[in-house]
Amino acid sequence: MSVDTSPAADYKALTRHLPEPKFVPLPHYRRRPEAEMLAAARAFYAEMDQRRTTRHFATDAVPRELIELAIRTAGTAPSGAHRQPWRFVAIADAELKRRIRVATEEEEYKTYSGRMTDEWREALHPLGTDHVKEHLTDAPWVVVLFAEKYGLRADGSHRKNYYVDESVGIAAGLFIAAIHRMGLVTLTHTPNPMGFLRDLLGRGTNEKAVLVLPVGYPRADAQVPDLQRLPLEAIAQFK
Ligand code: IYR
């Protein structure tokens, strides 16, 4: 008798001890006519193309439920092995935002005046960024996105996560789209190294801060740098 050495057989043998995976019919799917898809795609693109990153936030309050909805939307992202390795900390507390700003500006001062290469400084110059981060106290919400590098089981052992950076990046994109779609603005801010955020927010050592996202209304006199997006031909290839 010949032994079946196909990968499928190996996989079957290696997973025999595991419970059968459960599947359900794809929920909510409705195949749409092409014209309807085109109209929806054009409208969504037109709306997303109007998104801009501004550093100028109004101090007006934003209801917590809007932030919850943006986080729920982000949480719909696909993730490696469905580990959902994103954790959002949403801060409205003025004193906590002030402390984050102080620590951020300390770190950013070192970055802008020392750690950055001349090439990096030149690349950022058109964006008008510097170590002063008034958005961290102006915006009614500061959302810090953490990546869960690995899970922690009840007994303290580590549970591996997969494709964490990709998964968290996708969730961040959905968060940003949700914020734009509801009529607010956000700024993707990376005050590296961000270890201080874990300490300030009391998060576990299995989490790493990856983005700081102030959220709010733009100030009436908000400005943005005069930037253009790459055309389709530059970012896509069809074969
Ligand atoms: N993390 C710094 C510097 C910075 C870096 C890049 I790349 C940017 O696109 C913008 C800023 C900061 O947040 O100011």
Pair of tokens at residue 70? 């943006």
137 lines ligand 1 (CB under 6 A): no
38 lines ligand 1 (CB under 6 A): no
Our CA dihedral for 188, 98, 144, 174, rounded to 10 degrees, sits at -50
Give the pLDDT mean for 169-178: 98
How many separate helices (H) and strands (E) can be counted in the chain? 9, 6
- Give me the domains of the chain, ranges plus CATH numbers: 57-220 (3.40.109.10)
The pairing of strands 86-91 and 185-186 is unpaired
Question: Given a cut of 70, is residue 184 above it in pLDDT?
Answer: yes
Name the residue among 143, 161, 159 with its Cα closest to residue 74: 143
123 lines ligand 1 (CB under 6 A): no
Ligand 1 midpoint to CA 224 (Å): 15
Give the pLDDT mean for 116-125: 93
Ligand 1 midpoint to CA 225 (Å): 14
Residue 4's pLDDT is what?
A: 67
Count Cα atoms within 13 angstroms, Cβ side, for 122: 3
Percentage of the chain beyond pLDDT 70 is 97
In 166-206, beta strands by DSSP E: 185-186
190 lines ligand 1 (CB under 6 A): yes
pTM of the predicted model over 0.85? yes
Ligand 1 atom closest to residue 131's alpha carbon, by position in its atom list: 14
Q: Is the dihedral angle over the CA atoms 77, 81, 84, 85 positive or is it negative?
A: negative
189 lines ligand 1 (CB under 6 A): yes
Pair of tokens at residue 117? 């290469």
